[in-house]
Amino acid sequence: MTTAIYGVGSMGSAILEALAGGGEGEVLAVGGRPESAARLRERYAHLAGVEVVDAAPAAARAEVHLITVKPYSVAGLLEEIAPSLRPDSIVLSLALGVSLADLASGLPEGTAVIRGMPNTPAKVGVGMTVLSPAAEVTDERLARVRELLEPTGRTLVLPESQQDAATALSGSAPAYVYLVVEALVDAGVARGLARADALTLATQAVRGAGAMLAETGEEPTVLRAQVTSPGGATAAALARLEAHGLRHAFADAVTACADRSAGR
């Protein structure tokens, strides 16, 4: 299968590298500014199966089209590729806030359109992409896209009305975790740890807690209780986090993110 990726910035490069690492099929990379093509050719020269091409030839050759340009560039890009798209094309847009209706209005009738929200851990194969297919997309075509994205991590199909909440809990969420790690590292340094050691400890704590959640299937409340002896050190830390309003801060952050995603 041939996949075109339009826009090879943070998100596009994360997906491209995962797909190329997966070794299945051919990936066509389409950059933005004219000078970007040379930079992309140099950057991906070592990856077999990746070719840097212009938008129109990519549109004519690929079966699946991943749109990873900024939301304000989507309409112009669709205008550029629409005349060359094959009739059996699947267009998956990963642009924040661009609706299925916006996408369909810029594409030939009958194009299978899917809106998605990815996150950057796709680069290391542990990403999450929330997919909302248009009503006409068959189960078989959706399954092909999910299979294509397998090297990037997991996929979850949700109705389009839940895309803004998905952005807040998935697309943007790695940034919240990085902020928590930064805060832990600073606090560890204040307690006398070397910065590199503090980063190793905080990174492994996040990795281990994530693996426990994913692999045991336990509720976070249960796992937290297992680390929290009555009157102990962890209980003291958790009480301070609660007193500082951690839950409220996350609830407020998620609302702000989902509202921004919805354009409010």
Ligand X SMILES: NC(=O)c1ccc[n+]([C@@H]2O[C@H](COP(=O)([O-])OP(=O)(O)OC[C@H]3O[C@@H](n4cnc5c(N)ncnc54)[C@H](OP(=O)(O)O)[C@@H]3O)[C@@H](O)[C@H]2O)c1
Residues within the interface to ligand X (CB under 6 A): 6-12, 30-33, 36, 55, 68-71, 73, 77, 94-96, 117-120, 171
The whole-angstrom separation of Cα 122 and Cα 148 is 12
Specify the residue, 30 or 254, whose C-beta has the smaller distance to ligand X. Answer: 30
The least distance separating ligand X from the CB of residue 32, rounded to whole angstroms, comes to 2
Please, what sign has the CA dihedral across residues 54, 59, 60, 63? positive
Closest CB to ligand X among 33 and 244? 33
Minimum gap (Å) between residue 118 Cβ and ligand X: 5
Nearest residue to the partner ligand X, using Cβ: 9
Q: Which is nearer to ligand X, 57 or 71 (CB)?
A: 71
Q: Which of 71/125 has CB closer to ligand X?
A: 71
Locus of tokens 């060359």: 84
Closest to ligand X by CB, 34 or 159: 34
Measured from the CB atom, is 123 or 198 closer to ligand X? 123
Which is it for the CA torsion 94, 96, 98, 100, positive or negative?
A: positive
CB-CB contact of 36 with 13 (8 Å): no
Residues 88-92: contacts with CB under 8 Å, at least 24 apart: 88/63, 89/59, 89/62, 89/63, 89/64, 89/65, 90/63, 90/64, 90/65, 90/114, 90/137, 90/141, 90/144, 90/145, 91/65, 91/67, 92/64, 92/65, 92/66, 92/67, 92/116, 92/131, 92/145
- For the bound state, the minimum distance from the C-beta of residue 197 to ligand X, rounded and expressed in Å, comes to 28
**Minimum separation from the CB atom of position 155 to ligand X (A):** 14
CB of 198 to ligand X, least distance (A): 25
Rounded to the nearest whole angstrom, what is the least distance from the CB of residue 113 to ligand X in the complex?
15
How far from the centroid of its chain's Cα atoms is residue 174's Cα? 9
